[in-house]
Structure 1
Amino acid sequence: MTWRQFTAPPDCDYLCAHLMADSVVVFAVDGDDLFVAASGPRDPRIAESLRIPLGFGITGQVAEDGRPVRIDRDSPRNVVHRRLIGLGPGESVSRICAPIPGLYGEIVGVLAAYRNCARPFSEEELTRATELASPLGLRMHTEQLWVAVGRHRAERDRLIAAAISAQEDERRRIAFDLHDGVTTVLATMAFHLNAADLAVRDLPHAQAARAQIAAAQQLADLAYHQTRSAISGLHSLVLDDLGLVAALESLIQGAAPEPGTEVELLADPPQVLGDIPSHAAAALYRLAQEALSNAVRHAEAKRIVLSLRRSGDSLVLACTDDGRGFDTSEPPSARTTPDDPARHHFGLSSIEQRAALLGADLRLESSPGRGTRVIVELPLDVTDRETAFEC
């Protein structure tokens, strides 16, 4: 951890004014060392290499035992420390050091103030420094917790991206294996069945054999088309090659709704949507695929609209239909029909899980007879969280 990781470093000008000091350094505990969290009025970049072991020197001792110290004349030996407080060769300084207590009473740092030896600090000023250190400790503790939260969130986002990418890679591998293996075998089998049909055509009692061959041909064709459909569901080559908008257009074209049902895509152009991380594009595609499938299969709608919009720093994916709808306050079991157990949850469980994994907000709007709208809002800055906490 370095001083730059504090999103709002302590205001050393304020501390200097209240302690009537020439310079102030705020040290923070990092494991067995102290580093400079803030300093002033000197250039804080000087402090980047300054680390003081706990228990070493006056500052390290205050951090270890928690007792404030006042020294009328002091001459720090560390060259970087001297540069930080503006001491020249052979010069001394009056100094006070107050421990900075954290949220639970542990020492999280040291507040050190310095000024010319001609104006040594008093006991009253040491008490004032100790009083200032208490709220400063709460602030520093909160900052450190916030940095830790940012790191965990960034790591979580990285792991989510890796998990989604790995899942898509596995889907891609399975799709290619099916395409190169099963569909090739089925196509070859159809060729041999056609050849068998020609071979037995002029044989006695060929009618029964040809009927069996025709039935096998129908099964082979069915298996071929189902496999092709499974390949399309597993992986979208359009998403890889042309991006999310083109993949959603392809999804609309392959939706196969009931006759009389209109399916439409409304999407901002790619330049408005901006760059979408590959794992986020894949996750949004899967969400759209599931929402559209639910609407086509269950909504009994006349019109289904899939939309993708940019809203500020977020992408908003929505699937809207004018179908039968349902009461969102009902328990899932109440939305299951005996003739169609697949209606359970209307597939929303899958959508909820995907949205939660992606860190997206999910809203469901529906009522009986008034259709359903599924809205997923994905912040575009999820990949920038770690950077934000390093400022």
Structure 2
Amino acid sequence: MAKIAATLVERLLAISQALAGHIDPGEAFGATAAEIGTIIPHDHMDVAILLHDGQQHVCYEAGFHTSWSTLAQTPLPIDVSPVRSVLRGEAPYLLTADALEDPRFHFDGAIDEPIYSAGLRSRIIVPLKARGDIVGALNISRHTPDCYTARDVEVAQHCADFIAPYIYALIQSEQARRAMLAENEARNRKELLRVGAARLTEGMERERRRIAMDLHDQTLADLSRIVRQVSALHHQGVARAAQLADLEREIVNCLTELRHIVDDMRPGVLELFGLRDAIEAHLNRSVSRATPPIAVHMRDQSDGTADMLPERIRTALYRIAQEAINNAVRHAAPGRIDVSLLTAGSTLNVTVTDDGFGYRATEADEGGGIGHMHTRAALIGANLRVEPGKERGTRVSVEIALEGGAAPISLEANVLEQA
């Protein structure tokens, strides 16, 4: 007996050495599992650790991994744990000859699938305690039935008592680190969106002033000229066919300019015919007066999935594509512009590529068109990339999840409605 006790102490010291230097809870547990295996042979071992006032738990596995490993990233309530009786302190331990048949591990809602798929038959479950409280459970399993005895339970409990404070402290530290990173990321993202939304609002105000100037300098001037022509015809008392034809052309041009202004303010084609047709209409209109001519190509492999997205998201995607096309036509002198809509799995990708002068990285920091595109993408939880083309030119790509995408910050609704 003394020899067995000395061997156990020796192995516990080896476990202590295995723990030393590890700051990742998964790696630390993996190191201890190898040492525990020298005194309790096993095919699988895991620890369930309580979080959030004991209402949820995470799991770390050693050796081969099962679906329980997802609990390390996504905690679940202990009510669904097959070892909940030990986690709650209702049972001092669990020892079973065949967990596949033991009803204590199987109940409505239990996450017991790995017991069957991994063939975890002989099992020992003992509590992990820190400062006198149960903080989790150590779970040791073998594929062969009826392998463990009460003596193995006792040794397992010694091992659990030895590793519990260290593993628990590492996991608490890891959870605190993740919470801090998530909080910082949310705070930074909100601040970036606040600044971006402010710039976007300023840009929209500049656009409103530009539209007002266009109406004043172009449309109102055209209408004034038409009024003068009508007045002259009225005083002449008769109008020749050529004069009426000139007047008709003036009115048609005026209506065309007004229609372009209205379309820019609110994309009617988008509402009536969908994202693909709206982008193609803007693409064709943008290059219609280009000198030298610009070739265009529109490819749609989205199967209409874009039009299943909420209106605010479709509008934002249209505005991003519109800005990318406008930038290419106005500043890059391209010979060709390609636009593609592509659905890949659960994501939609809208890409605008040109073969013009190319993209300068400094433009992204100027708060102009590229900055607005980044803001619009961030407000709908999309990923935007502006990068050089394969040979020359610029490639603008925006990708968004069709379902379960990132949740936009609450300020996005007002900003996108104005946009």
Match of 1:229 in 2: 260
Match for 1:232: what amino acid?
Answer: D
Report the secondary structure of 1:261's partner residue: coil
Match of 2:383 in 1: 360
Map residues 366-381 of structure 1 onto 2, 5 A cutoff: 371-380=392-401
Post-superposition offset of 1:234: 1.9
Report the secondary structure of 1:310's partner residue: strand
Match of 1:78 in 2: none
Match of 1:35 in 2: 55
CA contact (8 A) 1:316 1:375 kept: no
CA shift digits 1:314-360 (9 cap, x unpaired) = 4333333333x15736x559xxxxxxxxxx89843333433444431
Post-superposition offset of 1:385: 5.9
- The reply to whether residue 306 of structure 1 matches residue 339 of structure 2 is yes
Match of 2:236 in 1: 201
CA shift digits 1:20-61 (9 cap, x unpaired) = 9xxx9946242xx4215269xxxx998259xx9xxxxx989x
Taking only aligned residues, the RMSD between alpha carbons, in angstroms, comes to 6.2
Change in Cα spacing, 1:48 to 1:147, as seen in structure 2 (3 Å) is: farther
Report the secondary structure of 1:374's partner residue: strand
- The reply to whether residue 284 of structure 1 matches residue 306 of structure 2 is no
Match for 1:261: what amino acid?
Answer: P
**How many pairs align?**
290
**More relative contact order, 1 or 2 (CA 8 Å, 6+ apart):** 1
Map residues 1-150 of structure 1 onto 2, 5 A cutoff: 26=48, 28-30=50-52, 33-37=53-57, 47=79, 96-99=127-130, 110-112=135-137, 122=154, 125-132=157-164, 134-135=166-167, 138-139=170-171, 142=174
Post-superposition offset of 1:375: 2.4
Match of 2:410 in 1: none
CA shift digits 1:93-112 (9 cap, x unpaired) = x9755139xxxxxx9x7124
Post-superposition offset of 1:262: 3.0
Tell which deviates more after alignment, 185-194 or 274-283.
Answer: 185-194
Q: Report sequence identity in percent.
A: 18
Report the secondary structure of 2:351's partner residue: strand
CA contact (8 A) 1:26 1:112 kept: yes
Match for 1:233: what amino acid?
Answer: D
Match for 2:234: what amino acid?
Answer: A
Change in Cα spacing, 1:384 to 1:134, as seen in structure 2 (3 Å) is: farther
Change in Cα spacing, 1:288 to 1:124, as seen in structure 2 (3 Å) is: closer
CA contact (8 A) 1:306 1:318 kept: yes
Post-superposition offset of 1:122: 4.9
CA shift digits 1:285-326 (9 cap, x unpaired) = 111111111122222233222222334554333333333x15
Match for 2:373: what amino acid?
Answer: I
- The reply to whether residue 248 of structure 1 matches residue 265 of structure 2 is no
Change in Cα spacing, 1:188 to 1:382, as seen in structure 2 (3 Å) is: same
Between the aligned partners of 1:19 and 1:234, the Cα distance in structure 2 is 73
Between the aligned partners of 1:275 and 1:145, the Cα distance in structure 2 is 40
Change in Cα spacing, 1:260 to 1:112, as seen in structure 2 (3 Å) is: closer
Report the secondary structure of 1:280's partner residue: helix
- The reply to whether residue 293 of structure 1 matches residue 315 of structure 2 is no
CA shift digits 1:135-162 (9 cap, x unpaired) = 3554576468769988987xx89xx9xx
Q: Which of 300, 318, 332 is residue 351 of structure 2 equivalent to? A: 318
Which structure 1 residue ranges, 5 or more long, are not aligned? 1-9, 53-57, 63-69, 73-82, 87-93, 101-106, 204-209, 334-343, 387-391
Report the secondary structure of 1:229's partner residue: helix
Match for 2:404: what amino acid?
Answer: T
Change in Cα spacing, 1:317 to 1:384, as seen in structure 2 (3 Å) is: closer
Match of 1:349 in 2: 371
Using the size of structure 2 for normalisation, the TM-score is 0.48
CA contact (8 A) 2:274 2:307 kept: no
Between the aligned partners of 1:113 and 1:199, the Cα distance in structure 2 is 99
Report the secondary structure of 2:271's partner residue: helix
CA shift digits 1:217-252 (9 cap, x unpaired) = 97x987755443222112212212322111112112
Match of 2:416 in 1: none
Change in Cα spacing, 1:27 to 1:143, as seen in structure 2 (3 Å) is: same
Tell which deviates more after alignment, 138-147 or 232-241.
Answer: 138-147
Between the aligned partners of 1:135 and 1:250, the Cα distance in structure 2 is 61
Between the aligned partners of 2:259 and 2:281, the Cα distance in structure 1 is 15
Using the size of structure 1 for normalisation, the TM-score is 0.50
Report the secondary structure of 1:383's partner residue: coil
